[in-house]
Structure 1
Amino acid sequence: MVARMSDRSVSDRRGTVSGLMEATSVLQEQAPWWQRGVIYQIYPRSFQDSNGDGIGDLEGIIGRLDYLAWLGVDAIWISPIYPSPMADFGYDIADYKDIDPRFGTLADFDRLLEGAHRRGLRVLLDFVPNHTSDRHPWFIEARKTRESPMRDMYIWRDPAPDGGPPNNWPSEFGGSAWEWDETTGQYYYHAFLKEQPDLNWRNPRVRREMYDVLRFWLDRGVDGFRVDVMWHLIKDAEFRDNPENPDWHEGMPPHKKVLNLYSADRPEVHDVVAEMRAVLDEYGGDRLLIGEIYLPLTRLVTYYGRDLQGAHLPFNFHLILTQWDARHIERQVQEYEAALPEGGWPNWVLSNHDKPRIAARVGRDQARVAAMMLLTLRGTPTIYYGDEIGMDDVEIPPERVQDPFELRVPGQGFGRDPQRTPMQWDTSVNAGFSTAAPWLPIAPDAADYSVETERAHPHSMLSLYRKLLALRRRSEALSIGRYATVQSSGSVFCYLREWKEERYFIALNLRPEPAAIVPPDKCRIIMSTVDDREEERVEDALRLSADEGVIAAMEA
């Protein structure tokens, strides 16, 4: 089927659009680094082990900084590296102002920061303010007695009249979110594991202490933070029961049986986000605040804050969650663009440490098309380590399972270990990740999908990512330019990216069958995910092979 660009989508191309672009050109040319840049997520346990204990570390990351600079990303976001009992692999923090010995020392972190900055790479840390470890000194003190000066740092409630939990709020990891404390005769709240008690963000002292944590790392030179479960920070003051979810069915996680109407996304959370933003702004305008937020688009965009004084980038996970077909994705992009507040900058994510990898969801052929989508849509992209070499989820034998979610809700496919397996560097033992047995299994096809193997092949996934990143870096249209939908049908998702006289037409075939589309003007192909088609001119229909994406330069 040949699709054509609709008249409506181009009706303003020579009028209103040109005026808009002229009006915004000065502002966009001065765009901050995070609007032009690309973020790369590192799960530190799995990136590179330097000391032979089977767990990745800071020294390992330092040793791979040259690779990251060569790849062409602009910033690295490092998942938690703070001291932790590792009940949830670093998301249960016992000390916010130090480095866990498994990963190294503060001196190692300073060397990583210096080495990254020297190579033009920014460094973002994971900030986990919703909860601490139950071994954090604050909680150890808080549970000694109801009169403890630290008691109100956490959320405590008396039992319900029947002696059970105070309400029906579930833990994200299964079971009740309320844990009975025998010593003090009250329940404490934990949205995740019982080893992760939630902080009471209605307490001004909690806010002061946590903003002091931000300043500790900003003073060391950190470029920003990704804030874990940002939408969870404030809970209902009356602790009302959550309503049942009418759409819940078998196969969904147990905690989805109720809607978290009262346990998350409360209106007061936006005051907290604005305060966090104000702390970063104390250090200049280039520090970045990202929020982890799993919410519908209409709620997600509220986290930009009043007058854009909230999170710079409320993470948009909808490419992870949406159905993988052209029309669903086209609607998602249009709805997202329409929902953004004026001046709000979009962002896109294909994979992360909590969700199956893009190659596992759509296959490696479509993962190439997805890479082109990620790096050509308007907004800041985040690449999950290993996606650039086509890493797939790895089957984890039951005896090797590490993830507490899988251990508590086994056999349901909710486990996160498969997408957290070690980075595949080369064809040596353990894929070059470690000289010891790694903490999670290496993929059986690691030799075929490794940095070393793919670096030698011009048509590999790694080569595709590097070419896309290089093109994006040198193109104003692809980094900060305007997005315009090209309405089509069938399996092709297509759009324009424009900046002044620079115009690109992107056509993505999301099915394993050939397709075609007529571009709005004559164009010249500059990149394909499948074939060597550079410089091929398109006079009429652009024909796409199965699972092919194309970037074409439009002629005036």
Structure 2
Amino acid sequence: MTDPWWKSAVVYQIYPRSFADSDGDGMGDLRGIIQHLDYLAELGVDVLWLSPVYPSPQDDNGYDISDYQDIDPLFGTLADFDELLTEAHARSMKLIMDLVVNHSSDEHAWFRDPAKRDWYWWRPARDGMEPGTPGAEPNNWGSVFGGSAWEYDPATGEYFLHLFSRKQPDLNWENPEVREAVYEMMRWWLDRGVDGFRMDVIDHISKDPALPDGVLSVGQSYANGAPHYLNGPRNHEFLHEMHEKVFAGRDALLTVGEMPGVTVDEAKLYTDPARGEVDMVFQFDHVWIDRGADPWQLVPLKLTALKAIFGRWQAGLAEVGWNSLYWNNHDQPRVVSRFGDDGDFRVESAKMLGTVLHLHRGTPYVYQGEELGMTNAPWDTIEDFRDIEALGQYAQAVEKEGRRPDEVLTVLRARGRDNARTPMQWDSSPQAGFTTGTPWLRVNPSFSEINAAAAVADPDSVYHHYRKLIDLRHTEPAVVSGDFTMLAPHDEQVYAYTRRLGATELLVAGNFGATPAALDDLAGWDDAELVLDNTGQAPSDRILGPWQAVVYRRTVSP
């Protein structure tokens, strides 16, 4: 049986408002993307994933959708979208949309229609409590963005559930009319030529219908309700139904489900082709590794813990299912600032991180600017931030929970989502070539050094290293289909593993530090071919230089 095409593919995520502005209004748009398709084609990526471009009040940068079957004028028109799709396909790139159906905008026609009230989660106040008063919310869940997960509606005297912003009411997937409306919309986009979907928080769609209280931690105003909505009781049923009603009988599509908190065992079920749910999932274990019990404390990276996480996922989905591989996206800080060295060794560490990630078993995702080694931005005060999550969490932590502002800002500077959302750095001209106007979010001042024009011109850049990584995935079958074996799991500086398919074996190793590190226990690799390295110097005496990554290939007995 032939492997699905997406196993050898590389996906590139575009955050449209920050990618390229074609008309000078400070906001990226579809025509800006069209203008840079040749850059993406030259990078070698196979799939473009667009963050939401649907009509929206933009309370959460488009993840609050008011019309699922149109384009927001901020980004252009349906005609622009059709042109983008045509031009991407002409360059042999597929395009997938962001599917956001755990919630809609409160400005969606569904939410405003009294006849569709049961399309959302409405509940009365707690027994004996006056509606609209503190503590009268139907349960004690907190919103991901801070505050209660319930919003009171004085007109009806009831509350609606919103796991995210109060302008993002959760859809009630228990209602079959909701599900059919979603499926009809999805078919509409696929019929238009779209090649699949990235499904936002898709493991949130099935809630425990009782909506019970969560456990309230000491010092917190609201409880974590996640045990009652993450991977809910009907999630597998709903996704199988979606597959049957939307995807069955259609070829060459890609479906990936964002699933915070998903376990390996659950992911095996979600991605088992025989079950007909999704092709792959985004798990969060590795990007939650620098979070401790206290959300306002930064935890240093422990490399052995990172290896244990990736090793568990590689082993767990080795026989059934498929991994997605990512460091960055619109919700995560820049990996070179997070796990690398964004100072003296920025280029080396960005290349090393890309090498270690991409050659695992799974489909790699590149987030815009990652291929340039873009870094976190400097944030002086809370007023510099634009992200609703950062602003809401800051207000709750400082104003309601008594946290010190400097303590909260330290964490937001390191982990805040705005780090990923600063405009794409195209060149060294004003505003990094992103816009001729005033950008919606300030440009990272690093653009004079870190930009696409300089990277394309420099054969030793991060960009060209990513091109080599992508080419290796396309040309070496062991990268796609080979077995995975973690090496030196207890080493706190070197991340190493092998991939083997038939008579071909690859060795991948990366030094997660600024001091030299030894490659131990590598008997038999002395005469292996050096396929790729990130410094231009082969290791001497099996010693990796600062932030060095290497890939060797040898022939073994099958």
Match of 1:275 among 234, 241, 244: 241
Deviation for aligned residue 1:474:
1.1
Q: Secondary structure at the match of 2:448?
A: coil
CA distance 1:249–1:67, shift in 2 (3 Å)? farther
2:465 is equivalent to residue 501 of structure 1: no
**CA distance in structure 1 between the partners assigned to 2:195 and 2:457 by the alignment:** 33
Asked if the contact 2:307/2:489 (under 8 Å) is kept, the reply is: no
For 2:288, the equivalent position in structure 1 comes to 321
Q: Secondary structure at the match of 1:80?
A: coil
Deviation for aligned residue 1:492:
1.5
Asked if the contact 1:524/1:552 (under 8 Å) is kept, the reply is: yes
Match of 1:519 among 518, 522, 527: 522
Deviation for aligned residue 1:305:
5.8
For 1:422, the equivalent position in structure 2 comes to 423
Asked if the contact 1:270/1:303 (under 8 Å) is kept, the reply is: yes
Deviation for aligned residue 1:300:
4.2
**CA distance in structure 2 between the partners assigned to 1:127 and 1:476 by the alignment:** 31
For 1:529, the equivalent position in structure 2 comes to 534
**CA distance in structure 2 between the partners assigned to 1:341 and 1:466 by the alignment:** 26
For 2:112, the equivalent position in structure 1 comes to 140
2:83 is equivalent to residue 111 of structure 1: yes
Q: Secondary structure at the match of 2:474?
A: helix
For 1:288, the equivalent position in structure 2 comes to 254
CA distance 1:447–1:356, shift in 2 (3 Å)? same
For 1:376, the equivalent position in structure 2 comes to 359
Output one character per residue of 1:333-372: Cα deviation in whole Å (capped at 9) or x when no partner: 2211233274211121101111111012022343321100
**CA distance in structure 2 between the partners assigned to 1:338 and 1:503 by the alignment:** 17
- Under a length normalisation based on structure 2, what TM-score does the superposition of the two structures give? 0.87
- Greater shift, 354-363 or 302-311, is seen at 302-311
- Greater shift, 280-289 or 160-169, is seen at 280-289
Deviation for aligned residue 1:206:
0.1
Deviation for aligned residue 1:520:
4.2
Asked if the contact 2:352/2:549 (under 8 Å) is kept, the reply is: yes
For 1:432, the equivalent position in structure 2 comes to 433
**CA distance in structure 1 between the partners assigned to 2:197 and 2:182 by the alignment:** 13
Amino acid at match of 2:82: D
CA distance 1:461–1:238, shift in 2 (3 Å)? same
- Greater shift, 158-167 or 69-78, is seen at 158-167
For 2:389, the equivalent position in structure 1 comes to 405
**CA distance in structure 2 between the partners assigned to 1:123 and 1:294 by the alignment:** 24
Asked if the contact 2:356/2:495 (under 8 Å) is kept, the reply is: no
For 2:551, the equivalent position in structure 1 comes to 551
Amino acid at match of 2:192: R
2:216 is equivalent to residue 244 of structure 1: yes
For 1:353, the equivalent position in structure 2 comes to 330
Match of 1:492 among 494, 510, 516: 494
Deviation for aligned residue 1:293:
0.8
Asked if the contact 1:242/1:263 (under 8 Å) is kept, the reply is: no
For 2:465, the equivalent position in structure 1 comes to 464
**CA distance in structure 2 between the partners assigned to 1:197 and 1:112 by the alignment:** 31
For 1:154, the equivalent position in structure 2 comes to 120
**CA distance in structure 2 between the partners assigned to 1:282 and 1:230 by the alignment:** 19
Asked if the contact 2:271/2:320 (under 8 Å) is kept, the reply is: no
**CA distance in structure 2 between the partners assigned to 1:401 and 1:192 by the alignment:** 18
CA distance 1:326–1:114, shift in 2 (3 Å)? same
**CA distance in structure 2 between the partners assigned to 1:341 and 1:133 by the alignment:** 39
CA distance 1:338–1:481, shift in 2 (3 Å)? closer
Query: What is the number of residues matched between the two proteins?
Result: 511
Deviation for aligned residue 1:531:
2.4
For 1:445, the equivalent position in structure 2 comes to 446
For 1:15, the equivalent position in structure 2 comes to none
For 2:47, the equivalent position in structure 1 comes to 75
Q: Secondary structure at the match of 1:261?
A: helix
Amino acid at match of 1:527: L
For 1:50, the equivalent position in structure 2 comes to 22
CA distance 1:372–1:325, shift in 2 (3 Å)? farther
Q: Secondary structure at the match of 1:311?
A: coil
Output one character per residue of 1:278-312: Cα deviation in whole Å (capped at 9) or x when no partner: 23433523211111111153344443268342221
**CA distance in structure 2 between the partners assigned to 1:71 and 1:65 by the alignment:** 10
- Greater shift, 427-436 or 306-315, is seen at 306-315
Q: Secondary structure at the match of 2:531?
A: strand
Q: How does 1:15-414 map to 2 (within 5 A)?
A: 27=1, 30-141=2-113, 148-161=114-127, 162-163=129-130, 164-244=136-216, 257-298=223-264, 299-304=266-271, 307-322=274-289, 324-340=301-317, 342-362=319-339, 363=341, 364=346, 365-397=348-380, 398-410=382-394, 412=408, 413-414=411-412
CA distance 1:231–1:200, shift in 2 (3 Å)? same
Output one character per residue of 1:223-263: Cα deviation in whole Å (capped at 9) or x when no partner: 11011111111111111111235xx788xxx76x5251113
Deviation for aligned residue 1:406:
2.0
Deviation for aligned residue 1:475:
0.9
Asked if the contact 2:240/2:275 (under 8 Å) is kept, the reply is: no
Deviation for aligned residue 1:447:
1.6
**CA distance in structure 2 between the partners assigned to 1:408 and 1:489 by the alignment:** 39
Q: List gaps (5 residues or longer) in structure 1.
A: 1-26, 142-147
**CA distance in structure 2 between the partners assigned to 1:316 and 1:359 by the alignment:** 20
Amino acid at match of 2:278: A
- Greater shift, 69-78 or 235-244, is seen at 235-244
- Greater shift, 318-327 or 460-469, is seen at 318-327
**CA distance in structure 2 between the partners assigned to 1:174 and 1:399 by the alignment:** 17
Deviation for aligned residue 1:468:
1.4
Asked if the contact 1:317/1:349 (under 8 Å) is kept, the reply is: no
Deviation for aligned residue 1:330:
2.2
Asked if the contact 1:134/1:140 (under 8 Å) is kept, the reply is: yes
**CA distance in structure 1 between the partners assigned to 2:51 and 2:149 by the alignment:** 24
Asked if the contact 1:160/1:167 (under 8 Å) is kept, the reply is: yes
CA distance 1:117–1:451, shift in 2 (3 Å)? same
**CA distance in structure 1 between the partners assigned to 2:365 and 2:259 by the alignment:** 15
**CA distance in structure 2 between the partners assigned to 1:185 and 1:361 by the alignment:** 46
Amino acid at match of 1:422: P
Asked if the contact 1:75/1:122 (under 8 Å) is kept, the reply is: yes
For 2:456, the equivalent position in structure 1 comes to 455
